[in-house]
Amino acid sequence: MPEAPAEVLEAPRGLLSRTRESDAGPLAHAVGASLDHPRQWLSWATEEAADVQAQRRRCREAETRWHDGRGYSYVLRPQQSGQVIGSFDLWRIGLGAVELGYWIHVDFTGRGYATACARVLTTAGLALSGVERVDDVVPEAPAHSGRQQIWVMQTATQSPQGQDPADP
């Protein structure tokens, strides 16, 4: 089992690549263009988060977490594009567990990017050495649906034999 996930992961219609300091500018632009959308539920979604220098610090911190095994950060780009349209993270949260967090550029929500990438990263997380559980907090109803948003915890687990727990 790997100690770290692959640095590049393919997802339907997108490519997840390890966050690097060189991603700071495109991340700042994407955050700035979408700031009002994630501000509804993400405490980091502030004016400062749209600043290139703030994103540069965040990217350096992500590189440090990757190196020491505490977390793995990715940027999402549509295939055949350099535009950043989201960011995904896996953090070690305790013995045998990682948490999945993410945001998607407001112009790309509701198109299945988050769902597809969460599936890819859940698989990558469960493949990590010592990980038996991936926790993901997701909205039950999309914000654009007009319904009240209810957050639910989704947990993916792997049986000790490596089988899908739903498959007897």
- Domain-embedded: residue 99: yes
- Domain-embedded: residue 68: yes
Structural domain including 44 reads 8-157
- Domain-embedded: residue 2: no
Q: Looking at residue 150, which CATH number applies to its domain?
A: 3.40.630.30
CB 23 within 8 A of CB 128: no
- Domain-embedded: residue 50: yes
Sign (positive or negative) of CA dihedral 64, 65, 66, 68: positive
- Domain-embedded: residue 164: no
- Domain-embedded: residue 146: yes
- Domain-embedded: residue 3: no
- Domain-embedded: residue 62: yes
pTM value surpassing 0.85: no
pLDDT tens string for the chain (168 positions)? Answer: 668 999 999 998 899 999 999 999 998 888 887 766 655 655 565 667 678 898 899 999 999 999 999 999 999 998 877 889 889 999 999 889 999 988 888 888 888 888 899 999 999 999 999 999 898 865 444 444 443 333 334 555 654 444 444 333
Residue type, 6: A
Where are the extended beta strands (E) located within 4-96?
8-11, 14-18, 71-78, 86-94
Count up the domains in the chain and report the number. Answer: 1
Backbone φ and ψ for 124, nearest 5 degrees, come out as -65, -40
